[in-house]
Copies of this chain bind each other. A is one copy, B any other.
Amino acid sequence: MSDSQHRVTFQPQGRAVSVLEGTTILEAAAIASLVIDTPCGGAGTCGKCRVQVAQGATEPSDAERKAFTVAELADGWRLACQTRVDGDMVIHVPTGSLFGGDHQIARDSAVGGPSEVQPAIRKVYVELPAPTLEDPRPDLLRLEEKIGSFNVDVAMLRHAPGQLRQQGYKGTAVLSDHQLIDLEVGDTTQRCFGVAIDIGTTTMVASVLNLCNGRELAIMSRINPQVSFGDDVLSRIQHSASCPHGLEELRQAVVHEIAGMVRALCDEAGIDARFIYEAAFAGNTTMQHLLCGVDPSPLGAVPFAPAYARGMLLSARDMEIPINPHGMCYVFPVIGGFVGGDTVAGMLATRIDELEGPVLMVDIGTNGEIVLAHDGELFGASTAAGPAFEGARISCGMRGTRGAIEKVLLDGDVHLGVIGNVPPMGICGSGLIDLAAEMLRVGIVSREGRLLPTDESPADVPPALADRVRADDNGNTVFVLTEPDGGTTHKPLSLTQRDIRELQLGSGAIRAGISMLLRKVGLRPADLKTILIAGGFGSFIRRGNAQRIGLLPPDVDHKRIHYVGNVSLAGAQWAVLSLEARKHGEELARRTRHVELSVDGDFQAEFAEAMIFPER
């Protein structure tokens, strides 16, 4: 047992992440925003998550020995769900192991290959004939005849013609769509980069892309420094509304951190930031407002109307993002106050409108964002799930970091999986879902969510488990996860009746939201052809257990449920790499009907109903 970190590099994607020892390759891939398909839910039975460990292969597990030939094992073939990191590793991920088949191939090629790379940024090396008496055409006109018509601002109008002459009518023109934004000495066409940034409420992920071929050169994540002003969007909205310089404080915090990420990415990729001409940002509506310095206070009160809807192309200099000073920032379109640019980016990256429908996409977090694609129509809604899935308001809850119980199995007694293989310090969202699902399964918790005292336990509950339901010092019923051991510094961990209620609230909100959207188009959960679980957290939950507690529709074949990972980042990458994709994102945002669940009279009833755990 060690809590050391190891570096795992995925090829051919070229992504590298540092993870705790004991993390599965499946989880490490999710952290790197690579979504490996696991129809069996990571049980090691379907053999779908095949990867080749090129460096640092460990002893194969029994499941792996069944899945591969001896020769394959010797070549490093393993199952991503079974192999755990115990040193630096290099993993080859075949396209066939990524989620989505052909669909994923298309997505992958946009990020990794040249086929769909048609960015808004265009660099053209030109060698123009110098003016002569026979051909005294204006400088910018001779440039236009080579690269097409463009606009300039005053600064570029003053700079470009002289620059062109100084360079002997040679150089590299940089265009952002139809705006001439720079004119560089020599042929710099191969130095053309963009950054894509997913601004999460908690975590920001940024990657730098080579706009010539779409390749990702570096990726990194950092905590959104706005967390010091509050964990959730509402507390940040309140800070911006109540403090005189609150909005500017929040804006500067996030911009400063993004600037640091851009510099760090440039260092890692070995490039100069002045060759980055565009940054694309996808985040929830509040995060995007704060990034742009737009007052988010209307998002904090009924009717939660955002300031803007369409995607915007803004000056990097005005935004204070330290890429090329004439570069541009693209900020994603939003659908509503709580269905933001990250959702639009996810819709774009998953091509939700092209998948066999009906398709449901769910991003589970403090707010659950739900998108339904059916018969050419798109619906988007959000539901306040509360912070239970992020470990908050749970008595022994914590985020999914080192020491968090992230997996629970009740098999005769309690079996815990802890991140980092250290003594458990608390329970995170995925552990909580596992625990609740297992307690339901064995019968310690009723469908109504009541924690059953030992004397009410069904007869077939193993005594060791039944015994763990006790009254604590305050007389509250609890389920004891870890017993006090006297010698350790860690307090014993229990789940309280109140914790279960919090989980019911969170799960019920999302389930009710899904039901409402489905009902709007006359569908039942069983009609869904595909369910996409988006977002970092989603990648860690176990589908079966999420269905057991009703967070995901129980009556859907779990093979139809797919983890798609950080599709917000993937969508932002697309937007940098393809003007067409960006336009498509705009269209998706415009087409999606925003359903405000809280105004629907049926929602409260549905919500109350959804808090009851599903029948077996």
Contact = CB atoms under 8 A, between A and B. Distances in A.
A596 B158 CA distance: 26
A136 B304 contact: yes
A295 B315 CA distance: 25
Contact of A298 (B131, B302, B304, B336): B131
A271 interface: no
Interface string A127-167: 00001111111111100100001011111011011100100
A411 interface: no
B318 A161 contact: no
Nearest to A304: B136
A318 B162 contact: no
A331 B309 CA distance: 33
A133 B595 CA distance: 10
A608 B334 CA distance: 71
A3 B471 CA distance: 112
Interface in A159-206: 160-162, 165
Interface in A592-615: 594, 596, 598-599
Given A312-B157, A319-B154, A139 B596 contact: no
Contacts of A157: 292, 294, 307-308, 312, 314
A423 interface: no
Contact of A336 (B136, B151, B162, B334): B136
Nearest to A320: B154
Contacts of A14: none
B154 A303 contact: no
B598 A334 contact: no
A141 B596 contact: no
Contact of A310 (B141, B314, B337): B141
Interface in A278-310: 292-295, 298, 302-310
A144 B157 CA distance: 31
B307 A140 contact: yes
A131 B318 contact: no
Contacts of A138: 305-309, 334, 336
A217 to B, nearest CB: 28
Nearest to A142: B305
Contacts of A134: 303, 596, 599
Contact of A315 (B153, B313, B318, B594): B153
Interface residues of A, number: 51
A141 B308 contact: yes
A304 B137 CA distance: 9
Contact of A133 (B153, B155, B303): B303
Contacts of A294: 157-158, 161
A315 B162 CA distance: 21
B133 A318 contact: no
Contact of A293 (B131, B154, B337, B599): B154
A26 to B, nearest CB: 38
Given A131-B298, A155-B318, A315-B154, A139 B293 contact: no
A133 B599 contact: yes
Contact of A314 (B136, B144, B154): B154
Contacts of A154: 292-293, 314-315, 318-319
A484 to B, nearest CB: 50
A139 B319 contact: no
B152 A305 contact: no
Interface in A60-113: none
Interface string A243-282: 0000000000000000000000000000000000000000
A304 B599 CA distance: 69
Contact of A161 (B161, B308, B310): B308
Given A293-B154, A319-B154, A133 B302 contact: yes
Contacts of A161: 294-295, 298, 307-308
B314 A153 contact: yes
Nearest to A139: B307
A336 B133 CA distance: 11
Which of A304, A307, A319 has the most C-beta atoms of chain B within 10 angstroms of its own C-beta? A307
A594 B134 CA distance: 10
A158 B289 CA distance: 9
B137 A309 contact: yes
A131 B319 contact: no
A160 B307 CA distance: 9
Contacts of A152: 308, 312
A596 B135 CA distance: 9
A75 to B, nearest CB: 54
Considering residues A293, A302, A310, which has the most beta carbons from chain B within 10 angstroms of its beta carbon?
A: A310
B136 A596 contact: yes
A306 B158 contact: no
Contacts of A141: 308-310
A131 B315 contact: no
A295 B162 contact: yes
Given A139-B298, A151-B312, 13 more contacts: A132-B303, A133-B598, A136-B305, A139-B308, A144-B309, A152-B308, A154-B292, A157-B294, A157-B314, A158-B293, A161-B294, A161-B295, A161-B298
5 contacts: A140-B309, A141-B310, A153-B315, A153-B318, A157-B314
- Return the 3 tightest CB-CB contacts between A and B, nearest first: A161-B307, A131-B305, A154-B318
